[in-house]
Copies of this chain bind each other. A is one copy, B any other.
Amino acid sequence: MAQLIEGNAVIGQSGGPTAVINQSMVGVVQGLLSEGAGSPNNPIKRILGMRHGVRGLTTDQLVDLSEKSHEELEAVAATPSAALGSTRDKPDASYCERIFHACEKHDIRYFFYIGGNDSSDTCRIVNELANKSSYELRCFHVPKTVDNDLPINDHTPGFPSAARFVATAFRVDSLDNESIPGIKINVVMGRHAGFLTAAAGLARDPSGHPDDGPHLICVPEVAFDLDAFCERVAEVYDRLGRCQIAVSEGIQDRDGQSIGAMLIQGDADAHGNVQLSGSGALGDQLSRIIKERLKPRNGNAPRVRADTLGYLQRCWPDASPIDSDEARRSGRYAAKLAASGDLDGSVAIIRTGKGYDGEAYASELDRINLEQVAAQTKHMDLEYMQGDFDISQKFRDYCGPLIGELPTFGRL
């Protein structure tokens, strides 16, 4: 165990906000405080927060979190979105230089960064540069992403709450679609991984009505074939007079080309990603195509509507209880790693209790190397799918326990 070096800690939030990212931030603060941070003889002095991630760190926009009351921190923990502010900046070498200068200037020796793929890579780069220089900086990454696409982690904080929103949305939207029948597309977040779109399948209560939606689930991991898709839509529509469809914003063809990018003109962010969220274009284009394809069948285009579930997926104030708990624990665990003398690392969630087949759900946290998670994207295993357009029981077993109880409904 390395000896603790004296200095301040700083916490940042990065990437898209979630319903529970503030739980992780407060977890780090409370974890450091419970290790004695700020006490006269403790090596960890003040606990600072970066405003808008590394952007705030390099522009001296810091907030002292040591001074916040317990009540204040608990209120923030229960608040969706990133209370410190977030950023999509991806530091290059010169940016990282500025981060070091800021760390020196503010006597920062403990660096906590809460985020997803890109954010963990920022953390890794900062850590490597610190290792190469003579500046002793201990970097810890705390996982967060509604996309659920970090490796090693059974799942990532933020995902269960987003999945809860998506499943709830599909469940009520299926009732809506049943009351005024038609074809309904709901576009779900997830640029590269289909976990969140697959969660739409949990809207179907296994003990409920067999005709409940969603009737088709399209994830990026299954090559999107427009002909096969339209055929399946027509088949369901002929049988039920309606069809509810879950489409990932990240669906791609068999060459890996994004269907959304092909259909829409978007702008790219600092990471070179084309804008898929915050636009209704993919859903609208698929609507148009379905109308055109199905019209010749009986002369009338079917009623097709598309909603893009949008940013509410990541910040709806009805977090999964398991998610809130694990996000908090992840933050505390990172603080404990730092106080235990670990030099760096990322926190990973390991499932230790299945949550089905009579076994209670349980999870533990583990330290993994930053390199194991940085800039890596985990795709959804195809065993979570049954055919091209539905989830499997295995996904139901995997995801169901994470999202908490969904509202159940009566029917005539």
Chain A interface residue count, CB cutoff 8 Å, equals 66
A21, closest chain B residue (CB): B179
Q: A180-B17, A412-B68 are in contact. Are A80 and B172 (CB under 8 A)?
A: yes
This chain's copy number in the assembly: 2
Cβ of A121 within 8 Å of any chain B Cβ, yes or no, is no
Docked-complex contact A86 and B179, CB < 8 angstroms: yes
**Cβ A312 vs Cβ B173 within 8 A:** yes
Decide if A307 is an interface residue (CB 8 Å cutoff).
yes
Whether B307 pairs with A311 at a CB distance below 8 angstroms is yes
A411 within 8 A of B: yes
A84 to chain B: closest residue by CB = B412
In the complex the two chains form, what is the Cα distance from A17 to B181 in whole Å? 12
Given A279-B287, A280-B279, A284-B279, also A410-B79 (CB < 8 A): yes
Question: Which of the 9-residue segments A70-78, A230-238, A367-375 touches chain B?
Answer: A70-78
| A280 with B280: CB separation less than 8 A | yes
Interface string of A156-178 (1 = CB under 8 A from B): 00000000000011001101101
Give the contact stretch, choosing among A94-102, A313-321, A337-345, A350-358: A313-321
B281 with A280: CB separation less than 8 A: yes
CB atoms of B87 and A180 under 8 A apart: yes
Q: Which residues of B contact A310 (CB under 8 A)?
A: 307-309
Q: Residues of B contacting A77 with CB < 8 Å?
A: 410
Pair A172/B312 contact, Cβ less than 8 Å: yes
* Chain A 211-239: CB-based contact to B (< 8 A → 1; otherwise 0): 00000000000000000000000000000
Taking a contact as CB atoms under 8 Å apart, the answer to whether B79 and A175 are in contact is yes
Measured CB to CB, the nearest residue on chain B to A407 is B317
Q: In the complex, what residue of chain B is closest to A278 when comparing beta carbons?
A: B305
A180 to chain B: which residues have CB within 8 Å? 16-17, 82, 85-88
Residues of B within 8 A of A17 (CB): 175-176, 179-180
A267 to B292 CA separation, bound complex (whole angstroms): 13
Contact B307–A308 (Cβ < 8 Å): yes
Inter-chain CA distance A168–B311, complex, in Å, is 13
User: In whole angstroms, how far apart are the Cα atoms of A75 and B407 in the complex?
Assistant: 11
A15 to chain B, nearest CB (A): 9
Q: Which of B49, B82, B87, B307 contacts A312 (CB 8 A)?
A: B307
Task: Please state if B279 and A175 are interface contacts (CB–CB under 8 Å).
Answer: no
Q: How far is the CB of A386 from chain B (nearest CB, A)?
A: 27
Q: Is A120 in the interface zone, CB < 8 Å from B?
A: no
Residue from A78, A79, A81, A314 whose CB has the most chain B CB atoms within 10 Å:
A81
In Å, the complex CA distance between A180 and B314 comes to 13
**Binary B-proximity of A21-61 (CB < 8 A = 1, otherwise 0):** 00000000000000000000000000001001000000000
- B280 near A72 with CB under 8 A, answer no
Q: Which 5 A-B pairs have the closest CB atoms?
A: A280-B280, A75-B410, A278-B305, A307-B310, A81-B175
What are some 9 contacts across the A-B interface (CB < 8 A)? A76-B411, A81-B172, A81-B178, A82-B179, A173-B312, A175-B315, A277-B305, A278-B304, A307-B312
